Amino acid sequence: MDMNRRSFLKSSLFAGAAASCVRPAEACGFFGLFGGTEGAPMHGYAAPAIPEIKLGIVGMGGRGQGVMERIKGLPGITVTAICDKNPEKIKQAQRRLANAKKPAAKEYLGDEAWKALCDDPNVNVVYNTTPWELHVPVALAAMDGGKHVFTEVPSAFGVDECWELVEKSEKTKCHCMQLENCCYGEVEMFTFNLAKLGMLGDIIHGEGAYIHDLRNMCLENYPDYEYWRYPHNRDHSGNRYCTHGLVPLCLTMDVNRGDKMDYLVSMDSREVNFRLYKDNHLKKDDPRFAEAMKTGDMNSTLIRTNMGKTMLIQHDVSSPRPYSRIQLVSGTKGIVKDYPFQIALEEKNGAGAHGWFDDKKAEEIYTKYMHPLYKSIGELAKRVGGHGGMDFIMDARWIYCLQQGLPLDMDVYDLASTCCLGELTEKSVDNRSKAMDIPDYTRGAWKTNKPMEVVDIDLQKFGLKSDDLKAADAQMNV
């Protein structure tokens, strides 16, 4: 595929015939900002408010069950449909609804039952927590069915399928947002707030990662858990799981909002740890024992943006290392990183920052410049849970935005520009770290798109009705 072919799409993409939809046009805002024109840009798009969200969840594994727990007490949202190929997972989900005194959801059971759920008129939002191979098909079907769709990471892998999602979202005017929970991590949001306040100066460089020893999940026979991850490591080089480290950096660096990722180079180390693990944990007659793993133990990808910023993104799921996303942001006035959390600021121009602030000072700065979302809803989020609360904040934000008719924090262009690295890093690795251009899924709109703002949730409008969150605690049944 010609990497730049979409830059020259014919004008009919934006000025063609009015788009049609399987469901009523109002469901995805065809009569919204752009007058129902096919291919209207989705950046900053605010669909008509949906006071009552009717949620269909596809995939009732750990992630699907988790979202039911997180939203069970939130006002204005009901799980109306659930889908899985495993009847036990469906039963488990129904028990959760019953325990929360919620009505039973319509059941969709079977390998392709998600197709019917995506066409269900009693669903207006689809939450996609399926194995990776189904992320794109389910998202496309949901938008064809007139539903906004929220898709687990990675939402796609290839350049072309990312274009499919972009064009489908533009055509249907349905939101297609990647569920990148790490953008709502406590340190990531603090860093974003600090950057927006100018405390870090001009951002020059960032580092992110997914370093997580998952050898047992990939190699043990867990058909209902994460065995499906194993073939991705066996069959592909590069970085197939880049978004946890990458997307928060992109938001902080205004990627697609005044800047864009221009090109990358990627390199794999040799693979050792999977082999050692197999030797010690698999029987020799296990077919996986003799299989070679294409993925290296460590992938390092360097990205340069059009405005001259750089990012280092790493991926390692096989080394005996503590979990880390690194999350380093460096600017002309200072630096923030995580794992562990550290901060250093140049307190006088030219003085430098030759040592990290001590724990007391770092905590003082963190408390003073905590992101407003963590001030308003952070304690509740930590009690509800979901990766320390960031899953709850992520879900609360998109629910709040849809109910209030606000633009989402992330759009389909953020999804596409980051997920396409799955294909591009592999091509770079397989070609001696050849530089690969990163497509401009915004088709030049990044030059004028407004940066993401520091956002919050109005608890009164959200229906939680308590500034001190006591009533929210009771309502959420924490």
pLDDT at position 13: 36
Q: Say what the alpha-carbon torsion angle 128, 162, 247, 330 is, to the nearest 10 degrees.
A: 170
Whether 82 shows a pLDDT value over 60: the answer reads: yes
pLDDT at position 331: 98
pLDDT at position 14: 33
The pTM is what?
0.90
Where are the CATH 3.30.360.10 domain residues in the chain?
A: 183-372+412-447
CATH architecture of 183-372+412-447: 2-Layer Sandwich (3.30)
Pairwise pLDDT comparison (252 vs 354), residue with the higher score = 252
Question: Beta-carbon neighbour count of residue 295 at 10 Å?
Answer: 26
Whether 245 shows a pLDDT value over 90: the answer reads: yes
Tokens of 91: 């039963």
- Of the listed ranges 66-75, 308-317, 330-339, the one predicted with least confidence: 66-75
> Which letter, b or e, does each residue of 130-158 get, where b requires 16 or more Cβ atoms within 10 Å of its Cβ?
bebebbbbbbbbbbbbbbbbbbbbbbbbb
> Rounded to the nearest 10 degrees, what angle do helices 159-172 and 412-419 cross at?
170
The answer to whether residues 217 and 225 touch, using CB atoms and an 8 Å cutoff, is yes
pLDDT at position 388: 86
Mean pLDDT over 368-395 rounds to: 92
**Separation in Å, CA 211 to CA 173, 186, 187, 445:** 36, 18, 17, 33
Q: Considering only the top CATH level, what class is 5-181? A: alpha beta
Where are the CATH 3.40.50.720 domain residues in the chain?
A: 5-181
Mean pLDDT over 31-57 rounds to: 76
Whether 441 shows a pLDDT value over 70: the answer reads: yes
Nearest to 403 by CA among 47, 2, 32, 35: 47
User: pLDDT confidence of 156, banded at 50, 70, 90?
Assistant: very high
